[in-house]
Amino acid sequence: MIDAVDLLRELVRIPSESRQEAAIVSRLERVFSDLGWAPARDGRNLHAFLGTDGPLLLLNSHTDTVPAGENWTRPPWEADLEEGRIYGRGANDAKGCLTAMILGAARAFSGRAPRGRVCVAATCEEEVSGQGLEKLIADIPRPDAAVIGEPTELQPAVAQKGLIVLEILAKGRAAHAAWGGGVNAIEAAAKDVASLAGFEFERSHPALGKPSLCVTQIQGGTRHNVIPDLCKLVVDIRTTPDYSVEDIIANVKDKVRGEVTVRSKRLHAVSTDPSHPIVQAALKASPGSKPYGSPTLSDWVYLKGIPTVKVGPGDSRRSHTPDEYIEVAELEAGVAFYERLIRNYFEGAA
C-alpha cells in the first residue's frame, strides 16, 4: 500500500496553482494506475470508479492551490517534515484531504469490498471557482451522495454559505476642488457604506446563522483637485438557504442610494439534512464529531440536489497562510476516516 506521508509530500512538491495543475494530475494518474484503478482524465480533471454496482458515492477534492505568497519561514514547495508536521502550500488545503481520500478508498475496496460504487475525483480550479468539479459532474453518472474533501478537523459540515458580490456606483457631479460646488460621489458612497454597516439580516439558519455583509473595496476620484463624480463600492455577502438571491439584492437596494449591479450570484448556499445517510456515515466514522455549518466556499456549490457532506483532515484556519501545514497524525486519521465513511455509507444505504 502507498504510504500517506510519502504521497502527500510528493504532491506538495509539485506546484499546482489554479490553472497550472497539469503536472500534479499526471502524477496522480500514475498513482491511480498503481492502485489498479482505471483513471479517466479530461484536461486537468481526473477520476476513477471503484466497485461494479449499487449506489454511487462521489469522493472529491481539489488539486489546485492559491499562490505561495510571502512570509514563509521554510520553502513552500519542499514539503518539510518537522516534529510530526508536513509543511507546504497545499499540505492542508487540500492535498492532505485528497491523499487521505485516495488511500481511504483504496483500503475500503481491498479485501471485502463494500456493496456500492465510489467515484474518486481529483479536480482543478477550486480556488478560483473554475471549470473543475462543475465540468466533471456533468460528465459522470449522477451520484447518490457526495463527500467534499476540505480541512474541517474531521467535523462534518452539513451546510455551507454561498456568495453574492455586488457593486454599488454612487454618482455625483465634478467640479474644481478649490471653488467647491459639484456633488461629491465619495461622500454619497460613504453614506451608503454607513447604511450597510448598520444592516443585519433577520432570519437565522440553524447551522449557518445569519448571512453576513461587508463592504470590501472602494474606488473613487481621479485627481486631488477634482470633486469626484463617481465612486464604486464592492460588497461581499455570504448567504444562507433562508434567503433567495433576489431577496438579498432587494434588501441591499432598499438600504443604499447608489446604483446596484450584480458581479456574481451563481455560488449558492447549500445544505444537507443531518439525518441523511451520508451525514450519519460521516458522524459514525468520526466519533464525538458534530455537524456544523461552514462559512467558507467549496466545490459543494456544484452538487445541486446531491446530498453532500464536507469533511476532511486538517484545519481550515491554516489554509492560505504562510507555513501552511498538516499534522501527520491528522493525515493518517483522515485515511482511516474515509475508509470507515465509505463502509458506513454503503451499510446504511443497503
Residue 199 CB coordination number (10 Å): 12
User: Cell numbers of 258, please?
Assistant: 447608489
Say if strands 230-239 and 56-62 run parallel, antiparallel, or are unpaired: unpaired
Cα distance between residue 140 and residue 45, in whole Å: 12
Residue 349 has pLDDT above 70, yes or no: no
Helices and strands, counts by H and E, the chain: 8, 18
**Is CATH 3.30.2420.10 the right assignment for the domain spanning 4-160+269-349?**
no
Cα distance between residue 93 and residue 75, in whole Å: 17
Element holding 87 (H helix, E strand): strand 85-87
Model pLDDT, residue 111: 79
Q: What is the mean pLDDT of residues 65-71?
A: 97
What rounded mean pLDDT belongs to the chain? 97
Q: What is the mean pLDDT of residues 8-20?
A: 98
Residue 45 has pLDDT above 90, yes or no: yes
Residue 165 has pLDDT above 90, yes or no: yes
Q: Where in the chain do CATH 3.30.70.360 domains reside?
A: 166-267
Note whether 4 and 331 are within 8 A (CB): yes
Residue 302 CB coordination number (10 Å): 25
Closest CA to 17 of 36, 48, 44, 46: 44
What one-character DSSP code corresponds to residue 155?
P
Q: What is the mean pLDDT of residues 110-117?
A: 89
- Predicted confidence band of residue 180 (pLDDT cuts 50, 70, 90): confident
- Predicted confidence band of residue 113 (pLDDT cuts 50, 70, 90): confident
Reported as a single tens digit per residue, the pLDDT across 257-282 is 999 999 999 999 999 999 999 999 99
Say if strands 56-62 and 145-148 run parallel, antiparallel, or are unpaired: parallel
Q: Where in the chain do CATH 3.40.630.10 domains reside?
A: 4-160+269-349
Q: Give me the percent of the chain exceeding a pLDDT of 90.
A: 96
Cα distance between residue 138 and residue 269, in whole Å: 20
Model pLDDT, residue 163: 97
**Those residues with Cβ within 8 angstroms of residue 21's Cβ, 6 or more apart along the chain or in another chain:** 44, 63, 64, 124, 125
Fold of 166-267: Alpha-Beta Plaits (3.30.70)
**Virtual CA dihedral for 294, 161, 342, 137, nearest 10 degrees?**
-150
Query: Phi/psi of residue 70, each to 5°?
Result: -105, 175
Model pLDDT, residue 350: 54
Closest CA to 219 of 196, 238, 193: 193
Asked whether the whole model's pTM tops 0.85, one would answer yes
